């Protein structure tokens, strides 16, 4: 038969093992909770800008009406662009769209894709905008509404240029500071 001293030691060891098991169980539960959040509830990452021009022309594009403009001179292996834009962007969360003015005048010899970025998060990305077309309304990226609250933001339009013949993205892009107003 065990002595009283041995029983106390055994009970102390049992308690330590129980505490260790509870700590390990707690760590496992925290790890599972973080994994579930990361897989199902975390916001989607940024939309990547393609290296080649999207095949789809922007559905919201409309002609500018400047067909009489002559194309800009294009150096061999390079491009030339002209831009028309407004520094004000309005976002309607209820409509899941942005109102802006961005045009790729007929004089340009590059296709363009524009992205609206706020705090390093891509809020919207257009389809391909060919010379002679403009957009005044674009749809927000999936999940963008969940990241925005009513108010004003400092944002930027990033303009990516694509060769009209090969579809390859140019080595340069343009960043334009804009004021973004978000409403319900």
pLDDT for 74 = 63
pLDDT for 42 = 58
pLDDT for 181 = 92
pLDDT for 109 = 84
135 SS3 class = strand
Six token digits for residue 184? 């319900």
Contact status, residue 181 vs residue 152, Cβ threshold 8 Å: yes
Task: Per residue of the chain (184 residues), give pLDDT as tens.
Answer: 567 777 777 777 888 889 999 999 999 999 988 888 776 665 555 445 666 677 777 778 888 877 666 766 666 666 667 788 899 999 999 999 999 999 888 888 888 999 999 988 889 988 889 888 999 999 988 888 888 888 999 999 999 988 888 888 888 888 999 999 999 8
C-alpha 76/C-alpha 53 separation (Å) is: 20
* CA 121 to chain CA centroid, nearest Å: 5
| DSSP per residue, 112-181 | EEEEEEETTEEEEE--BB-TTEEEEEEEPPTTHHHH--SEEEEEEEEEEEEETTT-BEEEEEEEEEEEEE
């Amino acid at each position: 038969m065990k002595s009283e001293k041995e029983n106390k030691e055994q009970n102390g060891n049992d308690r330590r093992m129980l505490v260790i098991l509870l700590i390990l169980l707690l760590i496992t539960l925290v790890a599972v909770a973080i994994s579930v959040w990361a897989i199902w509830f975390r916001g989607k990452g940024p939309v990547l800008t393609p290296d080649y021009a999207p095949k789809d022309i922007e559905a919201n594009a409309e002609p500018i009406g400047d067909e009489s403009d002559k194309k800009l001179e294009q150096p061999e292996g390079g491009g030339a662009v002209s831009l028309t834009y407004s520094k004000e962007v309005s976002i309607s969360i209820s409509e899941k769209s942005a109102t802006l003015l961005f045009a790729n005048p007929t004089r340009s010899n590059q296709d363009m894709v524009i992205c609206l970025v706020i705090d390093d998060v891509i809020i919207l990305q257009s389809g391909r905008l060919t010379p002679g077309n403009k957009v005044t309304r674009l749809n927000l990226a999936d999940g963008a509404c969940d990241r925005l609250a009513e108010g004003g933001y400092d944002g930027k339009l990033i303009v990516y240029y694509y060769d009209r013949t090969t579809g390859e993205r140019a080595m340069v892009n343009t960043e334009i500071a804009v004021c973004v107003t978000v409403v319900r």
